[in-house]
Structure 1
Amino acid sequence: MAVYEVNEAAVRHARELIDGRQYVLDSDWGDVQPGPDDENSYLERHSWEEYGAWHLGLTEGANDETKARFAFVFGDLRRVHRSGLIACVYRASEWRHKAVELAAHDLLQHLDDVSA
């Protein structure tokens, strides 16, 4: 099983988006989660650093500047999705990646506080 560390740059990015009200509160994550074509299109116009800022997890041992390096996407590459954060909490919890789970949970609580 892969091991992940929390991507602190992504946590900061998510907080900035939430504070800037760049979020979606009601979406079907299965429909809006970026797929490979979305990711490739994004990477044509953005850096790996910008791409990574959309992922709460960094895969230990994976090469930098590869998609394998990044895990637990939380938005549609434009806005944070509440359903994306919930998916991150669920997936990280399911596979016992506690640090990522807690980071996603904290962001979800922040989003709920800001949007209340």
Structure 2
Amino acid sequence: MASYSLNQAAVEHARQLIDRRQYVLDSDWGEVQPNAAAQNDYLAKHSWDEYAVWHLGLTEGANDETKARYAFVYGDFRRVHRTGLIACVYRASEWRHKDVELAAHDLLQRLDALAGIVPSAGSAGGN
């Protein structure tokens, strides 16, 4: 299993996008997640540093300026997708990449708070 470190630049980029309300609340992540062609198109017009900030994880041991280096994409190269953050939380928690999981969770909470997504009355607390 690959090991990942948290990409702090990506966390900051996502925070800025969320604060500027550059997010999508409802999307089918399987449909909008950047595929290989979209990634190649983006890289043809942008730097590796610009590409990197769309990925919460950095693959340990992978060379910089390769797609293998960057993991846990959370947006479509224009906006943060709520479903992208949910996917990051899920995948990172499934494979025990705790730093990425917690960062994605915190970003999701930030987005939800800004978007007005709050717990319904009576849902907070123990079950």
TM-score range, shorter chain: over 0.9
> SS at 1:5's partner residue?
strand
* Alignment-derived partner of residue 37 in structure 1: 37
How far residue 25 of structure 1 moved from its aligned partner, in angstroms, is 0.2
Alignment of 1:21-36 (within 5 A): 21-36=21-36
Q: Percent identity?
A: 75
Alignment of 1:30-109 (within 5 A): 30-109=30-109
| 1:15-62 alpha-carbon deviations (Å, 9 max, x no partner) | 000000000000000010000000000000000000000000000110
Letter in 1 for 2:45: R
Larger helix fraction of residues: 1
CA distance in 1, matches of 2:41, 2:28: 21
Letter in 1 for 2:77: L
How far residue 78 of structure 1 moved from its aligned partner, in angstroms, is 0.6
CA distance in 2, matches of 1:71, 1:37: 16
What is the RMSD computed on CA atoms of the aligned residues?
0.3
2:11 pairs with 1:8: no
How far residue 12 of structure 1 moved from its aligned partner, in angstroms, is 0.3
How far residue 90 of structure 1 moved from its aligned partner, in angstroms, is 0.2
Query: Unpaired runs of 5+ in structure 2?
Result: 117-127
> SS at 2:71's partner residue?
strand
Letter in 2 for 1:52: A
Structure with greater Cα Rg: 2
Letter in 2 for 1:56: L
Runs of 4+ in 1 over 3 A off after TM superposition: none
> SS at 2:10's partner residue?
helix
Letter in 1 for 2:52: G
Letter in 2 for 1:57: G
How far residue 2 of structure 1 moved from its aligned partner, in angstroms, is 0.4
